[in-house]
A = this chain, B = another copy of it.
Amino acid sequence: MLHKLSGTDIFRFFDLGDPLRKFVAGHLYKYKRMFDTLFFHIAAKISLPDPEKETIKTFFTQRKFKRKQFLLQEGETCRQLSFISKGLIKSYNVDDNGEDHINLFGWEGWWVSDFYSFLSATPGQLNIEAIEDTEVLQITLADYEAMLIKVPVMERYFRILYQNSIVTKERRLMSSITHTAEEKYRHLLQHHPELIQRIPQTLIASYLGLAPETISRIKRNKTP
């Protein structure tokens, strides 16, 4: 089975504002099983037979985090790749002046980690913190690698996942370099309006690399 990809589909499970989010949340509630969210997302990219699902389950452990609790702190080695089945997190680092800079937001259907730290098994600089109460499925590096050996079709899943992620990250980078503050904010507003509702403006500002005051001024100047 080839992975079919349309112009919009490419972002479906990736960029901020996953349109399936609400449905997935309902789905989860109905079955009350965190793995359903995972398999639902996997099914969007590859077809995964039931026996393989059972194998995959054995590699993950479930964990819950309260609001403001850290999944990972700067200086730690990130031992887990986490799939968010419920909740909302921010991943950020702190610069020399003590300022936070948000790397990404993640919610239902997102994979999060300090990827560099995780893959290299060395201490990293990212903090990952729950913004809302969050439930995740976690896998260690050894198990991630073992799973990919044991269930080779997951290579395909992650290849497609990462492939799409690269597109998103390239776009965000170019936006960061080429756009003005206002363009960045309006772009986010246009493409991910739900974000603005769910996440405080201060954090949005940090994510966009702007001062919160700048966003206030943009809203004042051109919203009328």
Contact = CB atoms under 8 A, between A and B. Distances in A.
Given A120-B5, A120-B10, A145-B2, A159 B166 contact: no
A33 to B, nearest CB: 27
Interface stretch (A54-62, A127-135, A147-155): A147-155
A201 interface: no
Given A148-B156, A155-B159, A119 B5 contact: yes
Interface residues of A, number: 42
A195 B41 CA distance: 40
Contacts of A120: 5-7, 9-10
Interface in A11-60: none
Copies of this protein chain in the complex? 2
A148 B5 CA distance: 15
Interface in A156-175: 156, 158-159, 162-167, 169-174
24 contacts: A5-B119, A6-B120, A7-B122, A10-B116, A10-B119, A99-B178, A101-B178, A103-B173, A115-B167, A116-B170, A116-B171, A119-B164, A119-B167, A152-B152, A155-B155, A155-B156, A162-B162, A162-B163, A162-B165, A162-B166, A169-B173, A173-B173, A177-B209, A178-B209
Interface of A: 2-3, 5-7, 9-10, 93, 95, 99, 101, 103, 115-116, 119-122, 145, 148-149, 152, 155-156, 158-159, 162-167, 169-174, 176-178, 209
